[in-house]
Amino acid sequence: MKYPPALAQLIDALRCLPGVGPKSAQRMALHLLEREREAATKLSHAIAAALAGIGHCQRCRMLAERGLCEVCGAAGRDPTLLCVVESPADVLAIEQSGSFRGFYFVLMGHLSPLDGIGPAELGIDLLVARFADPELQEVILATNPTVEGEATAHFVAELATARKLRVSRIAHGVPIGGELEYVDGGTLAHAIAGRHLV
């Protein structure tokens, strides 16, 4: 059976979401049309408003409604610390932990030459400009522990080191509450290599 064109278009549009395949997109579309038409209208308005009103922070590239995001516009943050992350979701995760009071720079991805993502696409020129801030002392690299994330961290570390900034990397390893027998070998190897004195 062939879907009406508008339904097919909705299913195809929903497939852009992470983790949503053809069947999930079909279930979502049918659910919205059969049972949640009012919610679907609200969702479409919210998406349109977000697309029209949300851009990037001029300073850190985080998602923001104005020129500066909430973090960059906040008083009382530590100007000596700059945490470099891959995505806005990483900023939210770190902020929810309550463990960091410095500033951020969001790369919006990682280096991936095969996908055509180089330094220009990551805003490296803006990051290097941030390195010139006389108050900045330490750059914390919080990219993902993937091959691309590690390559990106290495690239940024070289740029920061060349400007005489202290560079650190967030720790990776065994999660709190985890049991060693259930941790994969790669994570264990990383944890042992990154051990520190107590």
Same domain membership, residue 118 and residue 42: no
Q: Do 41 and 75 sit in the same domain of this protein?
A: no
- The pTM assigned to this predicted structure is 0.83
User: Do 156 and 67 share a structural domain?
Assistant: yes
Report the alpha-carbon distance of residue 54 to residue 39 in Å, rounded: 21
Assess whether pLDDT exceeds 70 at residue 69: yes
- Contact between 106 and 87 under an 8 Å Cβ cutoff? The reply is yes
State percent of the chain over pLDDT 70.
98
CA distances to 95, 102, 145, 167 from 98, rounded to whole Å, are: 5, 11, 21, 21
Q: What is the pLDDT of residue 114?
A: 87
Given this model, what pLDDT does residue 197 score? 65
Arithmetic mean of pLDDT, 136-148: 93
Going from the C-alpha of 2 to that of each of 16, 136, 154, the distances in angstroms are 21, 59, 50
33, 72: one domain: no
**Are residues 40 and 102 part of one domain?**
no
Mean pLDDT of 144-164: 93
Q: Look at residue 146 and tell me whether its pLDDT is greater than 80.
A: yes
Q: Is the pLDDT of residue 198 over 70?
A: no
Query: What average pLDDT does this structure show over 68-95?
Result: 94
The domain in which residue 16 lies consists of: 5-53
Reading the block at residue 191, the tokens are 């944890």
139 and 111 within one domain: yes
The answer to whether residues 38 and 67 belong to one domain is no
Mean pLDDT of the region 98-109: 94
Task: Enter the DSSP assignment of 112.
Answer: B
Q: How many domains does the chain have?
A: 2
Using one digit for the tens of pLDDT, what is the confidence trace for 1-39? 788 899 999 999 999 999 999 999 999 999 999 999 999
Q: Specify the range with the lowest mean pLDDT, choosing from 50-64, 142-156, 176-190.
A: 176-190
| pLDDT exceeds cutoff 80 at 150 | yes
Q: Per residue in 111-133, pLDDT tens?
A: 998 889 999 999 999 999 999 99
Task: State the amino acid at position 129 in one-letter form.
Answer: A
66-83 mean pLDDT = 94
Asked if residue 191 is part of any domain, the answer here is no
